[in-house]
Structure 1
Amino acid sequence: MKPVLYGYFRSGTTWRVRAALNYKGVAYDYVPVNLVKGEQSQAGFKARNPQGLVPALEVEGATLTQSPAILEWIEETWPQPALLPGDPMLRAKVRAFCAAIGCDIHPIQNLRVLKKVKALTGAEEAGPDWARHWITLGFEALEEMVSPLDGAGGFLFGEGPSMAEIYLMPQMFNAERFGVDLEPFPKLVAANAAAQAVPEFAAAHPSRQPDAG
């Protein structure tokens, strides 16, 4: 039985899982959960994920939540093509890059946080200003983390894509959406372009999802 992915087309965390499944060649069914309409807070979905967050991946009679855990499960279940390097030190560097996005940048500029920032300030532009600030600050660190590595072909940590690009693509999308100046981040821009040229990653783009219309 195919895995079933519950997600939202513009959700960065769902995008990560789509990209990984596509890259591994894993067929899956997709069930849209409209975050704008609040479907993630309805009882039916919260029975799958008590946090009321996407993505959720139903597989083998279980439901997996939290994209880092899902991505690790995907990598362990379908180890080829690999998304984590074989070298332990380089693998740790990839995981650190992913954690910088997944723990420190993305969570504080997702939809529910931006709504709360706007509600607390009463300012229409508070949310976008908040997002730009934290994305820029995070990108400054990420650019330094990858600059000495000089990945081939524009990729960050080797000759091909890794988990780092899977985390980077959605965050770059949000950076562009919020009007972040990307000129100071040439390594990140190059890696994003290289990743978007990978057909399996391109198929995971929000614009190509059934609920994007």
Structure 2
Amino acid sequence: MKLYSYWRSSTSYRVRAALNLKRLSYEIVPVDLVAGVQRKEDYLTLNPGAGVPTLVLEDGTTLTQSLAILDYLDATWPEPQLIPFDPLQRARVLAAAHTVALDIHPVNNLRVLGELKTRFGATQDQLTDWMCHWMRLGFEALEAQLEENTPFVFGAVPDIADLCIIAQLYNARRWGLDLTHYPKLRGVEEACLALPEIAAAHPDQQPDAKVIS
């Protein structure tokens, strides 16, 4: 398999972690979002949405959208299970994952920030404030949902909610959001990064990672 990925992309981070946890072999193909590679014609033939990640299977089938890819991986390689079978637990896990993937991420992605800057003249400080605002609201909701005294979001093993949360926490740290008020989320991050499979998916460990002062 080939995973078209950008090192700092939180959606790519989620999928890399899942592939590693399931011990699947894949090749990373870097897509430089800042340089606009995602808008070039050859990439658009793979992913008309001009985003990452894109997963190309062994038979050439192309999958896009990180949550759809995670659902496919879990259905095809169910160990370790990332999306519970139990209907109630499944709903709780997906609600937490969606808080990140549907409430926080869509208003903080590169395209939205670009529009705020070019169309409305937002400064970098205003963009940072915008991102931190939405992360703060989402993290407050998540902190209230997480169970007590468990290393991961809902128990003893990571699931799709954990993968979404740790990727968003990476962004939060990048943009200087104070995480003091989210001890449960920080605990989840610590537990996840203690796993070699997830640590290897971290943006700083990617082949296209850049040293930016």
Alignment of 1:133-148 (within 5 A): 133-146=133-146
Deviation at 1:88, TM superposition (A): 2.2
Q: Provide the rounded CA distance (Å) in 2 between the counterparts of 1:42 and 1:104.
A: 28
**Alpha-carbon displacement from aligned partner over 1:22-77 (angstroms, at most 9, x marks no partner):** 00000001110100100000000000011111111011221000001000000001
Map 1:57-206 to 2 at 5 A: 57-59=55-57, 60-119=59-118, 120-146=120-146, 149-152=147-150, 154-206=151-203
TM-score by length of 2: 0.94
Report the RMSD for the aligned CA atoms in angstroms: 1.1
Distance 2:108 2:130 in 1: 7
Tell me if structure 2 keeps the 8 A contact 1:151–1:159. no
Tell me whether 1:212 sits opposite 2:212 in the alignment: no
> Gapped runs of 5+ residues in structure 2?
none
- What SS class does the counterpart of residue 211 from structure 1 fall into? coil
Q: CA deviation at 1:85?
A: 2.9
Contact 2:71 2:83 in 1 (8 A): no
CA distance in 2, matches of 1:77, 1:9: 25
Question: Scaled by the length of structure 1, what TM-score is found?
Answer: 0.94
Q: Work out which of the residue numbers 15, 20, 23 in structure 1 matches 2:21.
A: 23
Q: Which amino acid aligns with 2:102?
A: C
Q: Is the 8 A contact 1:115 1:127 kept in 2?
A: no
SS at match of 2:38: helix
Distance 2:139 2:124 in 1: 24
Aligned counterparts of 1:55 and 1:63: Cα–Cα separation in 2? 10
CA distance in 2, matches of 1:212, 1:133: 27
Q: Which consecutive unaligned segments of at least 5 residues does structure 1 have?
A: none
Once the two structures are superposed, what CA deviation does each residue of 1:149-181 show, in whole Å capped at 9, x if it has no partner? 2252x2110111111111011100111111111
Residues 1:61 and 1:151: Cα distance change in structure 2 (over 3 Å) = farther
Figure out how many residues of one structure are paired with residues of the other and give that number: 208
Overall identity of the aligned pairs, in %:
47
Task: Answer whether contact 1:151 1:157 (CA < 8 A) is retained.
Answer: no
Whole-Å Cα distance in 2 between the matches of residues 129 and 81 of structure 1? 37
Matches of 2:12 and 2:124, distance apart in 1 = 27
